[in-house]
Amino acid sequence: MDSWTERAIDAIAQNTIAGAAELAEQGADVLLRCARVDETATLADFNAQVLRISIALIRAQPAMAPLVNLANTALWGLDACRTHADARTRLAALVRDFKRRLRMHETTIAEAVLPLIPDRATVLTHSRSATVRAALLLAQRAGRQLTVVCTEGRPNYEGRVMATELAAQNIPVRLVIDALAASRAATADLVLVGTDHLNRDGLANKAGTFGVVMTAKSVGVPVYALCSSSKFLPPGYARPKQHHRPPEQVWEQAPASVQVENYYFDYTPLNSIAGIVTERGALPPAVIEGWLAALQLHPALAASQAGA
């Protein structure tokens, strides 16, 4: 792995603002360069290089399922190649198609969300999601008069970024502290959240999503998770472990006797959500579970988890 690739992967690892799809695009660019700038001598060496880079990308942001699916797509595609040159060409084609589908899914999901957004609605969203942003901007272009409630998204304040992006497009925005998220969800007309990864156990999103969803559900406010199939974790792929983040992000110089818990994600059961909006439309959890069951995990990725 050359120094450019190492720096690019490190930049992905350090990015705490971008959403899953945006990080997947950056990861795809790393694999594209692997296909263009190839110094390996044999097909076996090339495949091993792709696997090393793929695993490094996943470990850079283990909660982001599109990076898993990018790697899964690349590795299955390379299995059919019989020559070194064919593998390079095949990898570039697969990665370009993956990027194209990421962008297409964002558009089709936004279109599927539009009928779910009433006019003059107050919509709450938690943290920052490029797909949620696309859906809200499309609703505005379609003539919906909206007020969007954004949460701060501590400790990295992704919600401020989301609020800034929406306000720049003349959408009225209220930014609330995270502690108000649940109570504001209870008075909203609709809650839209993004997704970093999803499996049969539930969906992962910014910490606090679980509380927002359960509060909204208890008072009858519909909650929809916006989630392309690129964020589905294939069966056999273990749910990523939560990493404890630096306590200084929450409390600088906390007393030694105080244990600060700082985690970026939580998990929400699928059956607590009104629907999951995918590139195939708004679907109930039972349909999503059937879709998940049809996915296949490449053996090399399964082995990499076992050896992690």
Q: Which residues are annotated as catalytic?
A: 196
Could you tell me the two tokens for 116? 């779910």
CA atoms of 131 and 152, how far apart (whole Å):
18
Which residue intervals of the chain are DSSP H helices? 3-14, 20-36, 43-60, 65-79, 84-113, 130-141, 158-167, 181-187, 209-218, 285-293, 299-306
Are 28 and 99 in contact by the 8 Å Cβ rule? The answer is yes
The Cα–Cα gap between 9 and 222 comes to 38
74-89 in b/e burial notation, b at 16+ Cβ within 10 A? bbbbbeebeebeebbe
Closest listed residue to residue 279, CA positions, set 96, 70, 113, 126: 113
Quick one: 247 exposed, middle or buried, by C-beta within 10 A (0-12, 13-18, 19+)? middle
Tokens 């450019």, located at residue = 4
> Which two structure tokens, joined as six digits, stand for 289?
């579970």
Residue 67: both structure tokens together: 């990076």
